[in-house]
Amino acid sequence: MAKKQNKETKKFPVEKDSEKENHSDELDDIPPEFLEAIPEEERHRVVSIIRSKMFASFTRETNPIYEKVSSEHITSIINNSEEQDKRDRKERGNIRWMNFGMFILILVFLVFIIIFLIDNENILNLIITASLAFAGGFGVGKFYS
């Protein structure tokens, strides 16, 4: 019951006439049809909200970390990113060499199989067909991943 009474008795402070005069210049920028739709006792609150939002759009709140960042921090970040770029380039180069090595190994294996099975055409056709199917499936898998 006490909670209900507190909710009912809690009201916003009523604006005094001197405060209304201070806000009259703020009302000049707002279109009259907009102001007419707002109850008179709430107009100054709405205007103050609009003003604060307009002011906030021009000023940017800064993150406290931004204030603590110095030129030394930025230099170390740039140096670390350069080192990371060098490591990434080296890793990509290693991957290319590994892919090239696998390609050569598979090519040597296929040439060996062809030379070894030149007399047995049935098995040779089966192995070549299976190899091409594997290569096609591998290519499709690489394409979709």
Dump pLDDT digits (tens) for 28-65: 666 777 777 778 788 778 878 877 777 666 666 667 77
* Predicted confidence band of residue 25 (pLDDT cuts 50, 70, 90): low
Dump pLDDT digits (tens) for 73-123: 888 988 899 999 999 999 999 999 998 998 899 889 888 888 888 888 888
| Cβ–Cβ under 8 Å, residues 117 and 123 | yes
The reported pTM is: 0.41
Instruction: Give the pLDDT confidence score for residue 88 in this predicted structure.
Output: 93
Domain boundaries, the chain: 12-58, 86-144
